[in-house]
């Protein structure tokens, strides 16, 4: 457990003249940082030729860090880039893109499925880790960099998330054989001479050469399996790196900077499965720097926090300056523009800490080219305009961190189910080409909770199969297209035992064979009290309530986004809302001890864009009926957009740390009430170290507070919240 927040920057010595390293590191220390992350490019540097090791650069960097008192998070590199000699030694190890070309020419690297890479990487780790493991500045290892497959810089192109080399295809074939032993394997549709797809499928294994699993020619099942296989490769690679490093160092913890972000949800690295391989969750965490606040940022940090399971976690890359390249290509900036107030960095730096992060590392101190990420210019001089914010953060972290070092996140009563199968299916081409939908659905459902001041965990399918839902009162299952028997049984049991389940249109459309099915799949029609037909596209379908529901009055109007579903309500359910043509739109019901709600349109996606008060109240009423506790209520924020004001908690043995983050460009003056477990409590501002006047009535304490634009208050409450 670190006694201070690891607050720092990334440093790439290969891109800086050696006689300037000391100046840079001294500047890093001087402006208030205490840590660097380094070594992402270290393999080619430290093994310039096969079996010739030269650790001089990093010896020097580590030694300066020791002299001046900087901690070091050292990368155990593999793919950014792989050494050139490795790719020459094993030309067939080079990653291959979907067009059959060598992929990622800027950072050439070798595929994990090539045995040559593993052999050479193991030899390197055997020299590298023992060389640095006893260095006093070393605090932790980061495994590789942004561990996933990216053959080229076209990140938006979904096929570019996979490696199509012969080793991957052969390995995929073996993986399928094992998974489908004794069963019929998924198939590829035959492409005819005219390019159309024959209805007659052919077994994948009969094709020579092994074909590219192109989404157009795959069956749904084969496509989902191909994507699951790619997830599996990245997880295996991570597990492999963990095992190799632990052979030589069992003391220093291992993390990696996974990419947890909106569109990276669609990538092939399974954040949940990867988290299970690491000592600590780590993430690259970039937010939209053109906005004061982006709720996606809070959703991403919640995914990291959920996966950390109370252990603390690390932000290994975050942006520390509000700059943006005009052409949006970070490697060839034609111009750099400042977007908004420098003080934005205050809230976007405290936010991960408020979610339990134990490091905050910014990308990057300095690069040789002009770029929109640096604190220093290419010649090393300081970009002084950004330093007041860093100074303020550094001072704040020093004062507050000792009080939160042992704290854990406040336990959530609500979970959001993250379905990797559904995401994979959504990435298929043709009429199922809806890549952006999953992240909108997850973020939208998160927003309905966050705006109601309710913290949610994210859980994945494997955790649900293993019974994690018994920890929660409410489950949101947005975008749950694919439901297999294991998930269906876990959801049925959750509701039967008193859980409360809410989902929206097209849930359970596909069974595990990826067949469009009786909806919902897995016998859940009895639990959810409806059956559905194919959904229809419609712009923003409207639904209105047929009766009062919680705080919503009869006649209230809610909106969907792009779809509505024709549903038949079973006798055990009740339609509480109808579409404008009178068809049922929301079905509620009881199943054994629990309750359910199905909304027959994509209401969570709609909420992300319209933030309608009616949808917020619908969710609030569902949560209230389910008995979800509300530790905090906030009134009179005084800014136009109260969704830019956040409150979150950490819990320690006998107190609660309350973080109030104001991402508005104006001062806010909220009135805050906390529901306590004990009758008395004191409130202390941990930054200015003063008591805050408050009024206690029974188990409720109320106080007023002023928070400047883009500022934070961190308050120690000497009691636990209910």
CB of 388 to Zn ion, least distance (A): 47
Q: Which is nearer to Zn ion, 171 or 614 (CB)?
A: 171
Q: Which stretch binds Zn ion (CB under 5 A): 15-23, 155-163, 408-416, 570-578?
A: 155-163
Beta bridge partners of 705: none
Phi–psi pair at 227, nearest 5 degrees: -70, -40
- Give least dist CB 42 to Zn ion, A: 23
Instruction: Quote the least distance from Cβ 89 to Zn ion, whole Å.
Output: 16
For the chain, the helix, strand and coil percentages under 3-state DSSP, each to the nearest 5? 35, 25, 40
Q: What is the chain's alpha carbon radius of gyration, rounded to the nearest angstrom?
A: 26
Instruction: Please report whether residue 585 would count as binding Zn ion according to CB under 5 A.
Output: no
**What is the spatial distance between Cα 78 and Cα 88, in angstroms, rounded to a whole number?**
16
Please tell me whether residue 169 binds Zn ion under the rule CB under 5 A.
Answer: no
What's the rounded Cα separation, in Å, for the pair 33 and 22?
A: 15
112 or 607: whose CB is closer to Zn ion?
112
**Residue whose CB is less far from Zn ion, 165 or 532:** 165
List helix spans (H) across 75-219: 84-89, 115-132, 166-179
Burial of 357 from C-beta contacts in 10 A (0-12 / 13-18 / 19+): buried
165 versus 222: smaller Cβ distance to Zn ion: 165
Stretch that binds Zn ion, among 43-51, 166-174, 257-265, 442-450 (CB under 5 A): 166-174
Residue whose CB is less far from Zn ion, 75 or 97: 97
Kindly indicate which of the ranges 98-106, 159-167, 450-458, 475-483 contains the residues binding Zn ion, using the contact rule CB under 5 A.
159-167
For the beta carbon of residue 253, count every other beta carbon within 10 angstroms. 15
Identity of the residue, 150 or 656, whose beta carbon is nearer to Zn ion in the bound complex: 150
Q: Nearer Cβ to Zn ion, position 79 or 596?
A: 79
DSSP result, 445-475: HHHHHHTTT--EEEEEHHHHHTTGGGG-SEE
Given the complex with Zn ion, which of 83 and 522 has the nearer CB atom?
83
* Smallest gap from residue 146 Cβ to Zn ion (A): 17
Measured from the CB atom, the residue of 73 and 165 that comes closer to Zn ion is: 165
Output 218 or 483, the one with its CB closest to Zn ion.
Answer: 218
Shortest Cβ distance from residue 294 to Zn ion (Å)?
Answer: 34
Burial of 524 (0-12, 13-18, 19+ CB in 10 A): buried
Give Cα separations from 155 to 158, 162, 324, 515 (angstroms): 7, 11, 18, 30
User: Which CB, 170 or 369, lies closer to Zn ion?
Assistant: 170
Piece of the chain touching Zn ion by CB under 5 A; list 152-160, 165-173, 404-412, 496-504: 165-173
Among 53-61, 105-113, 135-143, 305-313, the segment contacting Zn ion (CB under 5 A): 105-113
Report how far residue 637's alpha carbon sits from residue 419's, in angstroms, rounded to the nearest whole number: 36
**Cβ at position 169, least distance to Zn ion in Å:** 8
437-450 helix and 603-610 helix, angle to the nearest 10 degrees: 70
Distance CA 573, CA 517 (A): 21
Burial status of residue 229 (CB atoms within 10 A of its CB: 0-12, 13-18, 19 or more):
buried
Closest CB 166 distance from Zn ion, rounded Å: 8
Measured from the CB atom, the residue of 165 and 367 that comes closer to Zn ion is 165
Tell me which stretch binds Zn ion (CB under 5 A): 109-117, 183-191, 423-431, 591-599.
Answer: 109-117
Write the binding mask 620 to 649 for Zn ion: x where contact by CB under 5 A, - elsewhere. ------------------------------
Question: Strands across the sheet with 35-38, in order?
Answer: 254-255, 138-143, 71-76, 35-38, 6-11, 357-363, 313-319, 281-284, 258-259
CA 417 to chain centre: 13
Of 161-169, 470-478, 544-552, 665-673, the window that binds Zn ion (rule: CB under 5 A) is 161-169
> 210 or 330: whose CB is closer to Zn ion?
210
Least distance CB 602 / Zn ion (angstroms): 36
Q: Look up residue 90 and give its two tokens.
A: 């094993």
Task: Identify which range of 28-36, 110-118, 385-393, 452-460 contacts Zn ion by CB under 5 A.
Answer: 110-118
CA distance 155 to 173: 26
What distance lies between CA 168 and its chain's CA centroid? 26
Q: How far is the CB of 171 from Zn ion (least distance, A)?
A: 8
Q: Which of 451, 387, 388, 404 is nearest to 637 (CA)?
A: 451
Within 665-694, the residues that bind Zn ion by CB under 5 A are none
Tell whether residue 714 is a contact of Zn ion (CB under 5 A). Answer: no
* Minimum CB distance to Zn ion smaller for 94 or for 481: 94
Least Å distance between CB 257 and Zn ion?
Answer: 22
Q: Is residue 168 involved in binding Zn ion (CB under 5 A)?
A: yes
Size of the site for Zn ion (CB under 5 A): 5
Among 163, 345, 376, 585, binds Zn ion (CB under 5 A): 163
φ/ψ of 280, rounded to 5, equals: -135, 140
Q: Are 586 and 611 in contact (CB under 8 A)?
A: no
Question: Do 333 and 372 touch, CB atoms closer than 8 A?
Answer: yes
Helices (H) and strands (E) counted in the chain, each on its own, are: 18, 34
Q: Count how many residues are written for the chain.
A: 722
Question: At its nearest, how many Å lie between Zn ion and the CB of residue 165?
Answer: 3
Segment interacting with Zn ion (CB under 5 A) among 11-19, 103-111, 498-506, 630-638: 103-111
Q: Does 165 bind Zn ion (CB under 5 A)?
A: yes
Query: How far is residue 563 from each of residues 560, 574, 608, 685, measured CA to CA in Å?
Result: 7, 21, 15, 48
Residue span 111-150 as binding mask against Zn ion, x where in contact by CB under 5 A, dash where not: x-x-------------------------------------
CA distances, 256 to each of 593, 658, 715 (Å): 42, 28, 31
Question: How far apart, in whole angstroms, are the C-alpha atoms of residue 496 and residue 492?
Answer: 6
Alpha helices in 598-687 (DSSP H): 603-610, 613-625
Residue 118 CB, nearest approach to Zn ion (Å): 12
Q: Where are the alpha helices (DSSP H) in 533-579?
A: none
Of the two residues 111 and 400, which places its CB atom closer to Zn ion in the complex? Answer: 111
CB of 230 to Zn ion, least distance (A): 9
Residue the block writes with tokens 């660097």: 36
Q: What is the rounded CA–CA span in Å between residue 613 and residue 447?
A: 12
Shortest distance (Å) from residue 428 CB to Zn ion: 21
Question: Alpha-carbon distance 464 to 470, whole Å?
Answer: 9
Q: Which stretch binds Zn ion (CB under 5 A): 46-54, 120-128, 163-171, 602-610?
A: 163-171
Q: Which is nearer to Zn ion, 162 or 314 (CB)?
A: 162
Comparing CB distances to Zn ion, the nearer of 97 and 284 is 97
From the CB of 163, what's the least distance to Zn ion, in Å? 3
User: Which parts of this chain interact with Zn ion (CB under 5 A)?
Assistant: 111, 113, 163, 165, 168
């Amino acid at each position: 457990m670190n006694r201070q927040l690891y607050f720092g920057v990334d440093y790439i010595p290969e891109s800086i003249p050696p006689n300037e390293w000391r100046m840079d590191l001294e500047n890093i220390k001087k402006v208030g940082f205490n840590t660097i992350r380094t070594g992402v490019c270290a393999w080619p540097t430290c093994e310039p030729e096969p079996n010739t090791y030269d650790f001089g650069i990093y010896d020097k960097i580590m030694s300066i860090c020791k002299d001046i008192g900087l901690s070091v998070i050292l990368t155990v590199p593999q793919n950014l880039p792989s050494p050139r000699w490795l790719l020459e030694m094993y030309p067939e190890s080079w990653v291959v893109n979907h067009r059959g070309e060598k992929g990622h020419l800027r950072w050439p690297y070798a595929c994990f499925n090539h045995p040559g890479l593993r052999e050479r990487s193991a030899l390197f780790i055997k020299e590298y880790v023992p060389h640095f493991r006893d260095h006093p500045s070393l605090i932790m290892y980061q495994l590789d960099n942004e561990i996933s497959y990216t053959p080229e810089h076209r990140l938006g192109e979904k096929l570019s998330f996979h490696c199509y080399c012969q080793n991957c295809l052969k390995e995929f074939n073996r993986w399928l054989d094992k998974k489908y032993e004794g069963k019929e394997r998924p198939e590829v549709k035959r492409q005819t001479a005219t390019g159309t797809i024959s209805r007659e499928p052919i077994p994948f294994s009969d094709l020579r050469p092994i074909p590219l699993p192109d989404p157009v020619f795959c069956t749904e099942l084969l496509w989902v399996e191909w994507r699951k296989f790619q997830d599996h490769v990245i997880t295996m690679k991570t597990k492999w790196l963990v095992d190799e490093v632990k052979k030589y160092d069992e003391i220093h913890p291992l993390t990696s900077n996974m990419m947890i972000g909106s569109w990276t949800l669609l990538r092939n690295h399974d954040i949940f499965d990867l988290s299970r391989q690491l000592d600590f969750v780590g993430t690259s965490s970039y937010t939209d720097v053109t906005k004061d606040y982006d709720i996606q940022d809070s959703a991403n940090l919640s995914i990291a926090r959920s996966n950390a399971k109370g252990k603390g976690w690390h932000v290994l890359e975050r942006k520390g300056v509000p700059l943006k390249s005009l052409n949006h290509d970070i490697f060839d900036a034609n111009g750099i523009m400042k977007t908004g107030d420098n003080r934005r960095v205050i809230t976007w730096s405290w936010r991960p800490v408020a979610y339990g992060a134990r490091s905050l590392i910014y990308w990057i101190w300095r690069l040789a080219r002009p770029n929109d990420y640096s604190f220093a210019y290419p010649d090393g001089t300081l970009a002084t305009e950004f330093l007041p914010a860093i100074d303020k953060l550094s001072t704040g972290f020093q004062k507050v961190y000792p009080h939160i070092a042992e704290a854990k996140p406040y336990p959530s009563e609500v979970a959001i189910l993250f379905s990797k199968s559904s995401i994979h299916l959504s990435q298929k081409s043709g009429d199922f080409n809806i890549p952006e939908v999953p992240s909108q659905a997850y973020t939208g459902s998160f927003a309905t909770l966050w705006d109601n001041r309710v913290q949610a965990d994210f859980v994945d399918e494997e955790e649900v199969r293993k019974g994690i839902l018994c920890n929660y009162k409410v489950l949101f299952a947005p975008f749950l297209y694919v439901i297999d028997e294991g998930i269906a049984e876990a959801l049925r049991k959750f509701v039967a035992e008193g859980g409360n389940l809410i989902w929206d249109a097209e849930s359970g459309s596909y069974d595990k064979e990826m067949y469009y099915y009786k909806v919902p799949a897995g016998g859940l029609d009895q639990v959810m009290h409806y059956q559905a037909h194919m959904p229809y596209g419609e712009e923003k379908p409207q639904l209105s309530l047929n009766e009062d529901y919680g705080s919503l009055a009869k006649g209230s109007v809610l909106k969907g986004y792009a779809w509505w579903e024709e549903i038949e309500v079973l006798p055990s359910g009740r339609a509480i809302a109808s579409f404008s043509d009178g068809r049922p739109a929301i079905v509620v019901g009881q199943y054994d001890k629990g309750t359910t709600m199905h909304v027959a349109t994509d209401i969570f996606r709609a909420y992300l864009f319209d933030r309608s008060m009616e949808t917020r109240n619908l969710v609030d009423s569902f949560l209230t009926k389910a008995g979800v506790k509300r530790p905090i209520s906030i009134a009179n924020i005084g800014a136009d957009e109260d969704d830019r004001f956040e409150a979150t908690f950490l819990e320690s043995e006998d107190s609660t740390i309350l973080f109030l983050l104001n991402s508005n460009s104006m001062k806010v003056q909220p009135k805050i009430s906390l529901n306590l477990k004990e009758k008395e409590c004191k409130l202390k501002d941990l930054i200015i170290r003063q008591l805050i006047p408050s009024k206690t009535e029974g188990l409720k304490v109320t106080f007023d507070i002023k928070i400047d634009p883009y500022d934070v208050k961190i308050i120690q409450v000497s009691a636990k919240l209910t």
